[in-house]
Chains A and B, each alone.
Chain A
Amino acid sequence: MDFAKKLTDYENVTTKSGVRILETKKDVDENDEKAKLENLLLEQANKAASDLFLGSGSRLFSTIKTLSEDSVVRDKDHLIDAKLYPTKLLPPSSIIEAGSLVVIFESFDSLNFVYATPGEVFHNKNGHFHHDDFIGKPYGCKIRSRNNRGFGFLYLLRPTPELWARSLNHRTQIVHELDSAIVIFNLNIRPNMVVCESGTGSGAMSHCIMRAIAPHGKLHTYEFNQMRAHTAKEEFKRNGVDHLVDVHWRDVCGKPSAESTSNDGRETKEGESLTFGSGGFDIGPAAADAIFLDLPEPWLAIPHAAHTIKPNGGLCSYSPCMEQTQRTCQAMRDYGFHSLKTIEVRLREHYVDEVELEKVPTFKLPRDMNVNNYVPGQSVSPVPSNNGESGPEAKDMEVDTNKKEEETKDSKEVKEPVSKKRMLGCRPFSNMRGHTAFLTFAKAGNKSYPDPLKE
């Protein structure tokens, strides 16, 4: 995924500005007005530079002042020289290389993924697709199958956390893209943050969080199922995002796990360093900027979360049932969390169709049409002639329904091509995901809570 890549420096105009803090003269002749003015200019220039770089309300402003007094040149330059802050961009990448993760788009609701490997073949109902055909092509291309004379096709897409979540083999129920978008947005997850997540599950949410905390942040993800923890760890490594994540095989609620007993003493697979732990997030007090809980009993994790979270940090609990939510809310209130907000979101998707609206036929039934005159199978004379013969008795006339149909059919033939109104219409999907989970957001209080395990 793109966020796994290392940022590269790009020069931009700001780095060439030369705006920085300059030395001011300390001893200025009191009578030399010009020198005094010059020094005043320098002072103001320094102030303007620090205001610009650090914001007028900066916490760092005092630091600079003291630094310039101590004449610590390196640190001063470091703080103020714009040259040190070039634009950092992701490297351009549009060509699929050997080993690249590729999302295979079969249809709107059928996605898959492969790691492009020379010599391998991807099979699906549409045909055989050779990885060799993928390599060297740009992402976003359409590939034809080698068999079936190229009738089958698929699209190769650049992986994103959303596409990954849809192509992934779901080991557990995943947090869907709408929910994950809302959670990350409301927890205000930003670059370089430290975030905790429990449980890891299929790792769909983990990828979304990692995208938001790149390039130097850290996601601590906790999973009590050994197999899932290992698989997730391998997956993160294969996707190149392991520098952003620590996988913990741990039950944050602190209950003894079945695996922990059965796996004790058993040798872990080669190169794996996961050991089981129980109870809480083991990253120390007030260390996490945000915590996301997707657990069967989230209220048990709240005391641990209160210990681990930073003051005013965001906490989110994702529970499908209202009973879970209620207990969690109560626990949150007990542990100093405030600004509780429980929401539910649903995605309404729409089809877009080209709609053709026919005009209502304006044809009027002739008044004097006698039922007895009607012979099935014989076409009735066109409208105008009938109209001409209409008499006063026509009002009481009964009209056979069969006849009515016949009439309209005929009138269609007679008339000019029916004028149709063309427009675009949309209609909601007939099915929708009616419920995923209740999302409860809360903010940590400023009080610190001791580690519940040590009490």
Chain B
Amino acid sequence: MEAKDTTATSSKIDPYLSSPSSTVSEGEFVLLIFPDKRQYFAQALKSQRGKSPSLKINKRSYSTHMLIGLSYGSVLELQKNSLVPLPEGEDVIPNHQDLSIDTEQPTDNTEANDNRHLVDSNTSQGLSIEELAKMRDDKDISGAEIVDKIIQNSSTFQNKTSFSKAKYIKKKQMKYQPRCRIVKCTSASVCEALFIKDARRIMNLREDSLGQILSYSNVTAGSKVLVFDTCMGLITGALAQRMGGYGSIHAVYTGMQPSYIDVIARFNLNFMEHNSIRWVHAGYLFHDEINTQEKLEGDDLDKIEREKVTWPCHLQPHTEKYLLKMESEKKRLEFLQKRCGRFARKLTRPTLDETFASLKDGKKCDSLIIASQYDPKETLTTLLPFLETSCPFVVFSEYMEPLLECFEMLQKEKLAINIRLSDTWLREYQVLPNRTHPNMTMSQNGGFILTGVKLCPIHGINELDEDLMKEIRAEMGTRRGGKKRKNCPRGGEENKLLKKKPSMR
């Protein structure tokens, strides 16, 4: 509905695909990001059945219903029992009065303090651990007061340089006055959070690699994408978000059913975006060809079953009887709620055969993305025929060696062109007045990417027959060899052309 007030063409735009909301709505997943890089996923939920779903941070639980309605980007302070939203303008690192203005403005070299008298004796803090723990448990003392006390009781604080003071206060504030920011779950933030949490589970897929995969695969609204992703569904979710519900994403899965629902839920996809993901079982693609054919000829049992029911799925006599016998209205309601939800999903879900048919029939895929734990070479050989010619494919791997095999195969069998094997180096900087430098630690690797453009299997290999080639080579030999160049005017001409043309990139 929001699209209506921004564009005049809103009648053509689906109401679901309006531009994103700037406040947290119920049921949405958000990220709470702390300045010390800790990140928590939280789902904004109203309390259900008297119990409020809680979020555990620092061994304390907080209820998440207060997140509903807050604007993205706002700052929360973790107080004793609750998350308290702070007014606009507050930062995740609170301002502190001891931080004189001189840190903000470049100082001339008048800084009197340095660390020449600093002795690392571990006695500079006057407060004991017990005293601190007591203050932390006391409800009446706020985090800011604890930070002040610590500063007052530090014997070395006054001798620090102003930069060092700022760093000290920041450190204490992060611990005793923790604040976090509500961040929207986007492909970038979800990927970053999962990468920080456990990179190995998402195959070391760093956010810049994911960004590259989305760009190099040339996906756009309306693309037909084939993706084989064992990074917990991260790529599939990111694709659905990038394509905004237009087009179709054929996601290959193994096992009994797709198991990435919880990561995909974090993208807060709407119905159309969800619906653009079609789960294709790997068996349809990787099983022997003959068997696949047989299977498709047989009856699609799921489809037959689905066609038996029509919305709103009126009650069968025995179900009706069962429900009427129920004592409480509440139980009846719960039963119907579950039943309707189940039928609604069933009716809108394509069967396995149908998803495979939609992949196989009609137009070929516009992009192919492989980021799986399985042998990339075999996967690529099997999936490449589904790709339209001159369309890009991207293979991602945690290791480089499997990609080398793919690279060699593609080159030798002339399946693709513009093949590139790369990885990225990503460095973050601290940019502050007089204190700009790269961060002390950085991620060393974010995975390897192999990308290329598929060649037409018929017209892409337009080779001359060998006899002609030999003949031409024999002629050319004089020209290319450079010995008899003068006798060959045409060659000279072409060389001039070569010189005239500025080299491209």
Contact = CB atoms under 8 A, between A and B. Distances in A.
Say whether A associates with B: yes
Interface of A: 2-3, 5, 7, 10, 12-14, 17-20, 22, 33-34, 37-38, 40-42, 44-49, 51-60, 63, 78-79, 82, 84-85, 87-92, 94, 105, 108-112, 123-125, 137-144, 148-151, 153, 155-158, 160-163, 166-167, 177-178, 180-182, 184-186, 188, 190-194, 208, 211-212, 214-216, 218, 287, 289, 310-312, 322, 325-326, 329-330, 336, 338-350, 352, 354, 424-426, 438, 440, 443-447
Contact of B366 (A54, A90, A190, A444): A90
25 contacts: A19-B344, A41-B336, A44-B339, A52-B271, A53-B16, A58-B27, A109-B504, A110-B504, A140-B459, A141-B456, A149-B468, A177-B216, A182-B208, A185-B211, A188-B186, A190-B20, A192-B13, A194-B6, A289-B20, A343-B426, A347-B424, A348-B422, A349-B420, A424-B408, A426-B421
Contacts of B14: 84-85
A157 B26 CA distance: 46
Contacts of A51: 341, 344
Interface stretch (B163-171, B284-292, B398-406): B398-406
A17 B218 contact: no
A283 B92 CA distance: 32
B344 A52 contact: yes
B318 interface: no
A155 B417 contact: yes
A141 B212 contact: no
A57 B71 contact: no
Contact of B348 (A17, A40, A329, A438): A17
A340 B181 CA distance: 13
Contacts of A192: 3, 13, 17-19, 244
Given A125-B498, A181-B212, 19 more contacts: A3-B221, A48-B337, A54-B271, A57-B26, A89-B222, A137-B459, A138-B459, A142-B461, A148-B472, A184-B214, A188-B188, A192-B19, A194-B19, A325-B429, A338-B91, A342-B428, A350-B423, A352-B408, A426-B400
- Listed from nearest, the 9 A-B pairs whose CB atoms lie closest are A57-B27, A185-B211, A140-B390, A191-B244, A141-B459, A139-B390, A181-B215, A140-B389, A92-B363
Interface string B220-245: 11111000000000000000011111
A87 B221 contact: no
B405 A166 contact: no
B501 interface: yes
Interface in B130-175: none
A450 to B, nearest CB: 16
Given A157-B418, A312-B71, A349-B421, A191 B389 contact: no
B478 to A, nearest CB: 14
Contacts of B337: 44, 47-48
B84 interface: no
B312 A88 contact: no
B82 interface: no
A396 B324 CA distance: 108
Given A140-B390, A185-B207, A215-B222, A10 B362 contact: yes
B454 interface: yes
Contacts of A13: 348-351, 354
A166 B211 contact: no
B350 A57 contact: no
Contacts of B453: 140, 157-158, 163
Contacts of A193: 19
Contacts of A44: 333, 336-337, 339-340
A185 B91 CA distance: 25
Most B-side CB within 10 Å, residue of A41, A151, A339: A41
A87 B243 CA distance: 12
B77 interface: no
Given A22-B312, A56-B26, A212-B242, A14 B216 contact: no
B184 A312 contact: yes
B156 to A, nearest CB: 29
B431 A326 contact: yes
A216 B207 CA distance: 27
A326 B436 CA distance: 8
Given A7-B222, A87-B248, A89-B248, A19 B455 contact: no
Contacts of A79: 15
Interface in B1-52: 1, 3, 6-7, 9, 12-22, 25-28, 44
A51 B220 CA distance: 27
A88 B336 contact: no
B22 A185 contact: no
A19 B348 contact: yes
Given A19-B311, A92-B364, A188-B186, A178 B424 contact: yes
B220 A123 contact: no
Contact of A112 (B241, B324, B504): B504
Contacts, number: 396
B118 interface: no
Contacts of B464: 144, 149-151
Report which residue of A5, A20, A149 has the largest number of chain B beta carbons within 10 angstroms of its beta carbon.
Answer: A149
A444 B89 CA distance: 11
A52 B343 CA distance: 11
B338 to A, nearest CB: 9
B211 A42 contact: no
A313 to B, nearest CB: 8
A139 to B, nearest CB: 3
A18 B313 CA distance: 11
Contact of A59 (B21, B223, B408): B21
Contact of B247 (A88, A151, A426): A88
Contact of A158 (B3, B28, B390): B390
Contact of B222 (A88, A149, A150, A336): A88
Contacts of A287: 6
B218 to A, nearest CB: 5
Contact of A7 (B21, B22, B211, B246): B246
Contacts of A339: 73, 181, 183
B462 A144 contact: yes
Given A339-B73, A339-B183, A162 B218 contact: yes
Interface in B395-417: 400-401, 404-405, 407-408, 411, 417
A14 B348 contact: yes
